[in-house]
Chain A
Amino acid sequence: SMDPAKHDEL
């Protein structure tokens, strides 16, 4: 469940 365009990790 994630939006590939939004990687919130570093």
Chain B
Amino acid sequence: MNIFRLTGDLSHLAAIIILLLKIWKTRSCAGISGKSQLLFALVFTTRYLDLFTSFISLYNTSMKLIYVACSYATVYLIYMKFKATYDGNHDTFRVEFLVVPVGGLSFLVNHDFSPLEILWTFSIYLESVAILPQLFMISKTGEAETITTHYLFFLGLYRALYLINWIWRYYFEGFFDLIAVVAGVVQTILYCDFFYLYVTKVLKGKKLSLPA
């Protein structure tokens, strides 16, 4: 465990909590892509099946349980409790275009052709693109609430910090996981355009709105 990994995890946790609190406090999930949140719930579910097979540390187990519980709570709030506020008309990204290719790729390129390992690989690939429905929704409506942009910032920051963590681990532990690194790079690149808007607009007190 190094400082980049830890702050990455905490940044991820912050993103998840910010989104949950935003929905809970405003009693609304307007502007939030339910599809992205469903994909994240699927990501955590398929990745953390190793909770049943291997124990790594108390930290590891508790964080996994928190991530899974929060992602299911978010999906519940969007599709059940605050369904009336869900902006389904703008959440039109075709998720099968992500899930099907990612599913195929995880069968073809993995560390080990075993069910748990294929599901882990699937979750790594899927996580790298799971934010696309949310970014698509923002590009469609042309704007995002400031709190939603904070959520996206911490979510992107988490993967960026993981990249530094992997460089650290490569040099100091000889650890290198090509699948995680390639997917992590792809994931971070997807946030670059957003990071630019976040720094130039949101941090200067302006609302994130895209030119028409």
Report A's interface with B, CB cutoff 8 A: 1-2, 4-10
Contact = CB atoms under 8 A, between A and B. Distances in A.
A1 B64 contact: no
B175 A6 contact: no
Interface stretch (B32-40, B53-61, B72-80, B86-94): B53-61
Contacts of B50: 5-7
B12 A10 contact: yes
Task: Please classify the interface of chain B as helix (H, G, I), strand (E, B), loop, or mixed, using the class held by over half of its residues.
Answer: helix
Contact of A6 (B47, B56, B63, B67): B56
Nearest to A5: B54
Interface stretch (B109-117, B142-150, B198-206): B109-117
Contacts of B47: 7
Interface in B139-183: 162, 165, 174-177, 180
Contacts of A9: 5, 162, 165, 180
B92 to A, nearest CB: 30
B111 A4 contact: yes
A1 to B, nearest CB: 5
A1 B35 CA distance: 36
A1 B165 CA distance: 16
Nearest to A6: B54
A2 to B, nearest CB: 6
3 A-B pairs with least C-beta separation = A4-B111, A4-B112, A8-B56
B177 A5 contact: no
A6 B5 CA distance: 17
Contact of B117 (A1, A4, A10): A4
Interface in B1-29: 5, 9, 12
B122 interface: no
B191 interface: no
B151 to A, nearest CB: 18
